[in-house]
Chain A
Amino acid sequence: MVGRAATTGQAFRATLKRDLIIAYKRKNDVVNPFMFFLIVATMFPIGISPDPDRLGEIAAGVLWISALLASLLAMDNLFRADYEDGSLEQLLLSPHPLYFLVLAKNISHWLVSGLPVVLVSPLIAYMLNLPDAAYSIIFITLLIGTPVFSLLGSIGVSLTVSLGSRGLILAVITLPMSVPVLIAGTLTVQETLNGASLGGYLAIMGAMLVGALTLAPLASAAALRISVN
């Protein structure tokens, strides 16, 4: 391998692998968003009502909002450590298209912070008394929707990575942008429960995911080049 430049595919896999290893060694970053999701979802029955019927009505929304907030909280460590130790600059200097490297970081970040939330969502759905028929739907829609949250969030993180205190500004930028996904996700659950067919709604969510996958890393890459100079 000496003297041969790595292909973009190799660089993509190397970035993915590196981030996964780092996440494995810093288990807090993995556990915190997951615990945050569980705790936020627990606050709703306490704050609103323990009545199963009322909980059943709001369960889909509670799950989606908790997932959105958990994703927002987790976004902070997407680029922060890399920015602080300088490896983000190395990433920007790499000859490979930044799009793929940002995408690799996004994927690994979602695998460790988004996927656990999706996996545990049927359990929370049960505790919130969501109708049985909706377990699989909430699982599938969250599986499609949370990567979009991550991709949109990564634009906000890229823009604010050089700021000292940025938690609130990140929320102000990211949350309004996430609204279409939130709407699509909760509508899919509600309307399928009302008897609509799942296909059309999933197609719209899929379109959002494809759109975000194509455009968001481009915007993140442009933003990173601005933030790090």
Chain B
Amino acid sequence: MWLWFSKLGSPKWFYELSGRWLPWLVIPMALLLVVGIVWALLFVPPDYQQGETIRIMYIHVPFASISLAFFPLMAVAGTITLVWKMKLADMVAKVAAPLGAWFTALALMSGSIWGSDIWGTWWIWDGRLTSMLLQFFLLIGVISLRSALEDSDAAAKACAVLSIVGCINVFVIKYSVEWWNTLHQPASSFSLSDEAPNPPEVWVPLVIMIIAIYLFFAVSLILSTRNEILERERRAQWVQDLVEAQ
């Protein structure tokens, strides 16, 4: 167990292993994405209330749900960085922050487009929207702290502390913002669960899209971690061999 753990910390080992994993993630991802998008955009029956606009859900929900995973991910990676000083954990944490900002921004934008049609406005200060926006700001804070600190070792540890604090804070913000919202305006149920039980032809493509976007998340995280490994280990012999082989 511990041998495996310390092996995983070695960037070279991860680079080789992830190279072998990638096809097994990319192929299902591509298949599911194609099936899910075609199904969602062309074959799902229009919603009886929302009409064709319901199709945005198949993009929005997967992105929104996966973007909640970033702070816990960064906090775990940060803890590993602080406790075991594992280089790889910090590489993952470093690439996760901009990726998380993109995913959060995509969730906000797709939700905004959806809302412009259904709610008649591009933005309301709804609890979920607001907590997503604040999560986006917190991620920007992590990114800017990382870029401001020049010493990469100090930046790694400082970002680890900020990610752990931010992870706790994201949950406090989430609950407090929902509390704020529900007290301010009558509870408006936009969530899927409040509707009548959905027929399978609605939720099966959604599940496919969620799995596809999760795989997309894993693939993008692995690809950017591999880039980061190559950049940080550029002086290492194995990286130079790799470059010369190509």
A residues within 8 Å of B by Cβ? 155, 159-160, 162-163, 166, 169, 172-173, 175-177, 179-180, 183-184, 187, 191, 215, 219, 222-223, 226-227, 229
The dominant DSSP class at the B interface is helix
Using a CB–CB distance below 8 Å, which chain B residues touch chain A? Answer: 82, 134, 137-138, 140-141, 144-145, 148-149, 154, 157-158, 161-162, 164-166, 168-169, 172-173, 176-177, 179-180, 183
A160 to B148, CA, bound (A): 9
User: What are the residues of chain B within 8 A of A183 when measuring CB–CB?
Assistant: 176-177, 179-180
B158–A227 CB distance below 8 A: yes
Q: In the complex, how many angstroms separate the beta carbon of A163 from the nearest chain B beta carbon?
A: 5
Q: Report yes or no: B165 in contact with A219, Cβ–Cβ below 8 A.
A: yes
Q: Which of A160, A173, A222, A227 has the most CB of B within 10 A?
A: A173
* A51 CA to B148 CA, complexed, in Å: 44
Contact between A229 and B154, CB atoms less than 8 A apart: yes
Whether A226 lies near B176 (C-beta < 8 A) is no
B94 CB to nearest A CB, Å: 16
Other A-B contacts than A159-B161, A187-B180, A222-B161, 6 sampled, CB-CB below 8 A, are A160-B148, A166-B148, A177-B173, A183-B179, A191-B183, A222-B82
For B183, the chain A residues whose CB sits under 8 A away are 187, 191
Check A226 against B157 for contact (C-beta < 8 Å).
Answer: yes
Report if A176-B180 is in contact (Cβ < 8 Å); known contacts: A219-B164, A223-B161, A229-B154. no
Neighbouring A residues of B148 by C-beta, 8 Å: 160, 163, 166, 169
Residue of B at shortest CB range from A228? B154
| Distance in angstroms between the alpha carbons of A227 and B153 in the assembled complex | 10
Q: Is there an interface contact between A176 and B137, defined as CB atoms closer than 8 Å?
A: yes
Q: How far is the CB of A173 from chain B (nearest CB, A)?
A: 4
B138 close to A159 (CB less than 8 A): no
B165 x A177 contact (CB < 8 A): yes
Residues in chain B near residue A187, CB distance under 8 A: 179-180, 183
From the candidates A159, A166, A180, A191, name the one contacting B172 in the complex (CB within 8 A): A180
**B residues in contact with A173, CB < 8 Å:** 141, 145, 162
Which residues from chain A contact B141 at a C-beta distance below 8 Å? Answer: 169, 172-173, 176
Partner of B173, one of A159, A160, A166, A176: A176
A159 touches B137 (CB 8 A): no
A122 to B151, CA, bound (A): 46
User: How far apart are A43's CB and chain B's nearest CB, in angstroms?
Assistant: 22
B154 partner residues in chain A, CB cutoff 8 A: 162, 226-227, 229
In the bound assembly, the distance between CA atoms of A166 and B173 in angstroms comes to 24
Distance, CA A134 to CA B149, complexed state (A): 44
What's the minimum C-beta distance from A79 to chain B, rounded to whole angstroms? 14
Please name the 9 residue pairs, one residue from A and one from B, whose CB atoms are nearest each other, closest first.
A180-B176, A173-B141, A226-B157, A176-B137, A183-B180, A172-B141, A176-B134, A183-B176, A180-B172
A residues near B166, Cβ cutoff 8 Å: 177
